[in-house]
């Protein structure tokens, strides 16, 4: 993680709005953001031009910040080379707005996309194709509901001639805000057709609701790329350390006479943000605004408590996040079902750890699965043998703890000790 520069002391003399804007515009390059950015840039560069990339994560994890960073990097890389074509657009970004009713408006989406591409005369687009429609029967724009196909065609042509590296769609889960599975597949076909005909990568940024459409068809599963942008997990020590460093960085960037030490209250800040940096940042902005308005020399716990999410709100957020995170976990049963469908024989469970990169042939695997009792006895035997060897090497062992050993294990341990003594005598 890069070390950002602390704000200049002259910033403290600026008006409160300027000081607050400084903190709002600051974005920390934390570990999860950097990893997601690298994976997404690689996917955009290396995948097929008509691919669909799905970037999903919990609400408030920082997906909009990731989108802004990718747009900036693609624009910088486009301007770094030779003088480009004036008609060329390095990247196109658009936000999918939620539908006012149960039906998503593709016409509104296409029109917004044309505006983002600086397309002239958006309200006067016509397709003079005698096969589909003649100019005499062309209705007036944009009142007729049948003109959605013409907007679709205008977007295809604009993307084809402007040649962007990617189309970045923020809040993409609103594209599929429908209840019927059949209509969901229809929504997906529109987007897939647009990517095909314009030969442009489409990147969908959204919540875990996007995961319900990634496997609607085999063709989409083959062409889509999943990128998970997770939150920080308190069960992982590395994530806890990174989260504490993020808090320290945010505290140093606050334009206050005394920068707060947010790492002291990291548990409270984690539980009310569920480990999402986006939620944390919005929370800190609200608390900082209160501290600047009072004015207060530093940010206190009372400022944070005033603007913290309630326990019920956090519980709802973590419920949705956990449900989405579970869809990225592939268990052994799912893998076994896949192997059986592919025609592999059922694998025989064994306590031996297979060597990495090697697969045992089904023909060389004989016998039946060991009973649970024998598996436990074999593991206990290995542990006992290790202890016995360690004791003969001079390693001290705690003899105060009681230990019950079966007769078989005692004989094995005695055999090891006898062999070691014989070797030493020789």
Per-residue pLDDT of the chain (426 residues; tens, 9 = 90+): 445 666 777 888 889 999 999 999 999 999 999 999 999 999 998 888 888 899 999 999 999 999 999 999 988 877 776 656 777 888 999 998 887 776 778 888 888 888 888 887 766 666 555 444 433 443 443 334 446 777 888 888 888 888 898 999 999 988 887 655 557 777 888 888 888 888 899 999 999 988 887 767 666 667 778 899 999 999 999 999 999 999 999 999 999 999 999 999 999 999 999 999 999 999 999 999 999 999 899 999 999 999 999 999 999 999 999 999 988 887 777 788 888 888 888 876 555 544 444 444 334 433 333 334 434 444 443 443 344 334 444 444 444 334 444 444 444 445 444 444 444 444
**Within 13 A of 336's CA, how many CA atoms are on the CB side?**
7
Is the CB of residue 348 less than 8 Å from the CB of residue 369? Answer: yes
Q: Which two tokens stand for residue 330?
A: 């592939």
Overall pTM > 0.75: no
Q: Which CATH architecture has domain 234-327?
A: Orthogonal Bundle (1.10)
Is the CA virtual torsion 13, 18, 24, 28 positive or negative?
negative
CATH code, residues 47-228: 3.40.50.300
5-13, long-range: CB < 8 A, 24+ apart:
6/252, 6/253, 6/259, 7/253, 7/254, 7/255, 11/255, 12/255, 12/256, 12/257
Extents of the domains making up the chain: 47-228, 234-327
Q: Which two tokens stand for residue 250?
A: 């945010």
Helix (H) or strand (E) holding 56, with range, is strand 52-56
Q: Which two tokens stand for residue 365?
A: 């695997």
Burial class (CB in 10 A: 0-12, 13-18, 19+), 157: middle
Which residues are paired to 169 by β-bridges?
A: 94, 204
At residue 168, φ and ψ (nearest 5 deg) are: -100, 120
Q: Which two tokens stand for residue 327?
A: 């869809």
């Amino acid at each position: 993680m890069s070390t950002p520069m602390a704000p200049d002391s002259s910033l403290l003399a600026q008006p409160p709005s300027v000081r607050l804007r400084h903190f709002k515009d600051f974005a920390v390059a934390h570990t999860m953001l950097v990893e997601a950015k690298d994976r997404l840039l690689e996917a955009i560069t290396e995948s097929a031009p008509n691919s669909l990339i799905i970037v999903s994560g919990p609400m408030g994890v920082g997906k909009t910040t990731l989108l802004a960073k990718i747009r900036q990097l693609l624009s910088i890389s486009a301007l770094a080379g030779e003088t480009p074509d004036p008609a060329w657009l390095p990247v196109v970004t658009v936000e999918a707005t939620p539908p006012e009713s149960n039906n998503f408006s593709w016409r509104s989406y296409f029109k917004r996309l044309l505006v983002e591409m600086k397309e002239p005369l958006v309200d006067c687009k016509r397709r003079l194709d005698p096969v589909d429609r003649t100019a005499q029967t062309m209705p007036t724009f944009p009142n007729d509901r049948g003109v959605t196909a013409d907007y679709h065609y205008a977007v295809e042509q604009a993307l084809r001639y402007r040649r962007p590296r990617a189309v970045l769609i923020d809040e993409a889960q609103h594209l599929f805000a429908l209840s019927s599975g059949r209509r969901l597949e229809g929504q997906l076909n529109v987007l897939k057709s647009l990517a095909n005909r314009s030969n442009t990568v489409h990147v969908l940024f959204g919540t875990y609701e996007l995961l319900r459409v990634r496997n609607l068809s085999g063709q989409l599963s083959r062409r889509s790329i999943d990128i998970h942008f997770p939150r920080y997990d308190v069960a992982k020590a590395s994530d806890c350390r990174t989260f504490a460093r993020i808090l320290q960085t945010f505290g140093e960037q606050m334009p206050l006479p005394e920068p707060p030490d947010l790492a002291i209250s990291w548990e409270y800040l984690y539980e009310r943000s569920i480990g999402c940096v986006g939620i944390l940042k919005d929370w800190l902005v609200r608390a900082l605004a209160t501290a600047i308005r009072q004015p207060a020399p530093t940010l206190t716990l009372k400022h944070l408590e005033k603007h913290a999410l309630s326990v019920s709100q956090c519980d709802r957020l973590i419920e949705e996040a956990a449900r989405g995170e579970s869809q990225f976990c592939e268990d052994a049963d799912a893998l076994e079902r896949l192997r059986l469908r592919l025609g592999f024989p059922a694998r025989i469970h064994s306590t031996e750890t297979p060597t990495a990169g090697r697969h045992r042939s089904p023909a060389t695997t004989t016998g039946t699965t060991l009973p649970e009792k024998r598996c436990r006895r074999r593991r206990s035997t290995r542990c006992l043998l290790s202890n016995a060897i360690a004791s003969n090497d001079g390693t001290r062992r705690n003899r105060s703890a009681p230990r019950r050993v079966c007769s078989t294990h005692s004989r094995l341990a005695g055999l090891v000790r006898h062999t070691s003594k014989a070797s030493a005598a020789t």
